[in-house]
Amino acid sequence: MTTVTKMRLSKETLSILKNFASINSNILIKPGNKLITVSPNMNVYAEASIQEDFDTEVPIWDLNQFLGVISMFANPDLEFNEKYVDISNGRSSVRYFYSDPSLLTVAPKELKIPQEITSFDINENTLNEMLKAANILQVNNLRIVGKNGSLLVEIYDDSNDTSNSFSVILDENYSGPDYSGMIKVSEIKFLPGSYKVYLTKTIISKFVHESGNLMYVVSTKKD
């Protein structure tokens, strides 16, 4: 007997899925209440806990198209079958077939995050300010530097010695270890909000949203 799961997706979940589509155009939704995606080049990993609990695996090839179909209806019901999902408002409906899971870019079964060496907070206004500066200056590098009792972030172009740059001090009483790491601005595709940032000894950094239900892990080039 085929199991059919019927649910409605909350605005928060739809917002997360839309954000994840900017990281990877496809997704494999696994049974449970977690959404996970990873960029095609494996440089960005994202994980979110959601309100809904899926009973079946849902492989979607074109996530933006899938979300577009949902947007055709006002708060539709979704009935997840073994091979497809029926999206309906009671009068009209779309039968949307799943992808072959083997075609999708899927995150590793278990993400092992190295030991954290220090952490800091970055509020939404500061993050927006940094991204705005990168756009105006047309540069794509973000460097985190902790040294001599100060922690700062610099926006610049590492391929140009005379690059225009923007910097902001995050902590004037930094007591952590010396640190210098660079992230591509183009890989910072985060949902709005403030974040707790965890730096590790290796080449990744973890950003945890203030809600506690959303996390991004980003590849970091160590200087």
Q: Considering 69, 103, 137, which residue would you say is the last residue of a domain? A: 103
Specify the number of domains making up the chain: 2
Locate 204 and state its tokens: 């990744």
Does the residue 161 lie in any domain?
A: yes
CB count in 10 Å sphere of residue 152? 16
Q: Are residues 129 and 91 in the same domain?
A: no
Q: Are residues 9 and 50 in the same domain?
A: yes
For position 3, what pLDDT does the model report?
Answer: 57
Q: Are residues 128 and 207 in the same domain?
A: yes
DSSP string, 61-104: S-HHHHHHHHHTSSS-EEEE-SSEEEEE-SS-EEEEEPPPGGGS
pTM confidence score: 0.92
For position 2, what pLDDT does the model report?
Answer: 52
Q: Considering 80, 103, 126, which residue would you say is the last residue of a domain? A: 103
User: H or E stretch including 136?
Assistant: helix 124-137
Does the residue 109 lie in any domain?
A: no
Residue 16: CATH number of its domain: 3.70.10.10
Domain extent, residue 53, equals 5-103
For position 4, what pLDDT does the model report?
Answer: 66
CB 181 within 8 A of CB 222: yes
For position 1, what pLDDT does the model report?
Answer: 45
Does the residue 167 lie in any domain?
A: yes
Q: Considering 47, 82, 103, which residue would you say is the last residue of a domain? A: 103
Q: Are residues 11 and 86 in the same domain?
A: yes
Q: Are residues 94 and 122 in the same domain?
A: no
Does the residue 215 lie in any domain?
A: yes
Q: Are residues 152 and 80 in the same domain?
A: no
Q: Tell me the mean pLDDT per 10 residues along the chain, length 223.
A: 76 97 97 96 95 95 98 95 94 96 88 88 96 96 95 94 94 93 95 96 92 94 81
Distance of CA 118 to the CA centre of its chain: 21
Q: Are residues 88 and 147 in the same domain?
A: no
